[in-house]
Amino acid sequence: MNIYVGNLNYNLTEDELREVFEKYGEVTSSKIISDKYSGRSKGFGFIEMANDNEANEAIENLDGADVKGRNLKVNKARERREY
């Protein structure tokens, strides 16, 4: 399952984000979206988890959780639409 994670601390690394979610199960990928010009984090990213039950548990437990002083916004990622 692909999970959207918002309101990230701008200094959080992909590895640190992965560690937060690994408490709930296997993380297959961790990606923080950054500005293509400045390289600075945009404050959101995506986590891919192999097991849907573990992913749902992570969403339930981490939505609103404090990570590095910011309350995470965590939910199932919507499919990206092409325009």
In CATH terms, the fold of domain 2-76 is Alpha-Beta Plaits (3.30.70)
Return the residue matching tokens 């010009």. Answer: 37
- The letter for the amino acid at 33 is I
Contact in structure between 25 and 54 (CB atoms under 8 Å): yes
Residue range 24-51, pLDDT digits in tens: 999 999 999 999 999 999 999 999 999 9
How far is the C-alpha of 68 from the C-alpha of 20, rounded, in Å?
11
What whole-number distance in Å separates Cα of residue 42 and Cα of residue 51?
Answer: 27
Question: What integer pLDDT is reported at residue 80 of this predicted model?
Answer: 72
- Four-CA torsion 53, 64, 75, 20, nearest 10 degrees: -60
What's the pTM?
A: 0.92
Question: What's the confidence (pLDDT) of residue 83?
Answer: 65
